[in-house]
Structure 1
Amino acid sequence: MIDDLYSTRILTLAANLPHAGRLAAPEGTAERVAKLCGSRATVDVVLDDQGRIVEFAQDVKACALGQAAAGVLGQSVIGASVSEIADARDAMSAMLKSGGDGPTGRFEYLRVLKQVADYPARHASSLVAIEATLAAVNQALEKHHTNTRTRLAGAA
């Protein structure tokens, strides 16, 4: 059964990590670590004026499942909004923990990890990249809001 978990699709995704590395000047950066296994993802983002990701980089040190989830994320994240990322994270968490269908839309391919639901010890590593991405985007949004407030105060 564990062989089914590490399917050719999962291993291919794990081996091809889009946007690997770090950004030179990120607006938001976050790191998340899965305590049980030590899987780690550090994500950098830059947002446009509408709060959508225009630049993205990820440094992921994780098992094949965490790498595969980061691979899917990297393929689909450019142009995503905070609500799309939060919805995907919530749907993926529900898929893993309570039998949900999984993400839809741009992050639908995360459903390839549905069989991870049977392995609770692997849930956190499968979520580490999307959790880091959401935190980095929220940090960048806070900077955008702070800059907007500062500009408005200066104009008054």
Structure 2
Amino acid sequence: MTPDDPLASLYHDRIRTLAAAVRNDRRLEGADLSLTQVSPLCGSRVTLDIALDAALRIKAFGWRVRACTLGAAATALVVRSAQGLRLHAAAGWHDAMQRRLEGEDAAVEGLETPEIFDAARSFRARHGAVLLPFAILAEACAIRPDAGA
């Protein structure tokens, strides 16, 4: 991949570094929720185990990632950014990230550096992989609506 290759902007060092953080499975025993999302286009699969504290804030994550570099990087970013947040706050990231990938400069409050995925805007086939962990958070909030109270 040359620096002029459009893929070079997509798979930059920050993305690869994030992806490496979740390459090894780390499942969470006794999780309150364990959810999997699969991208129908590319087959990327992410499982997140989520533990909630008494106040329904995210206290810990486990993961199993069988996804491309972008899906893995997004998972690592979610794991790093969502700790300590109420589940419903993090669940809102899905819609904001989807709008961001579609070209809006949507704010993703509480998510560290969402702009690292801006290069994926022109690669629509990659959007599904990026959105996997965000879809899990949205699904988790739907399953546990009390986490938004």
TM-score (norm 2): 0.85
Deviation at 1:66, TM superposition (A): 0.6
- Structure 1 partner of 2:140: 136
Deviation at 1:29, TM superposition (A): 1.3
* In structure 2, distance between residues paired with 1:55 and 1:138: 19
Matched, 1:36 2:12: no
- Structure 2 partner of 1:92: 97
* In structure 2, distance between residues paired with 1:116 and 1:59: 23
Letter in 1 for 2:64: D
Larger helix share, 1 or 2: 1
| Pair 16,39 (structure 1): closer, same or farther in 2 beyond 3 Å | same
Runs of at least 5 residues in structure 1 that lack an aligned partner in the other structure: 146-156
Deviation at 1:136, TM superposition (A): 3.2
Q: What value does the CA root-mean-square deviation take over the aligned residues?
A: 2.1
Larger radius of gyration: 1
- Structure 2 partner of 1:23: 28
Aligned length: 142
| Aligned partners of 2:37 and 2:132 also within 8 Å | yes
* In structure 1, distance between residues paired with 2:108 and 2:23: 20
Please give the secondary structure, in 2, of the residue aligned with 1:17: coil
TM-score (norm 1): 0.81
Moved more, 103-112 or 5-14: 103-112
* In structure 1, distance between residues paired with 2:14 and 2:106: 17
Runs of at least 5 residues in structure 2 that lack an aligned partner in the other structure: 1-5
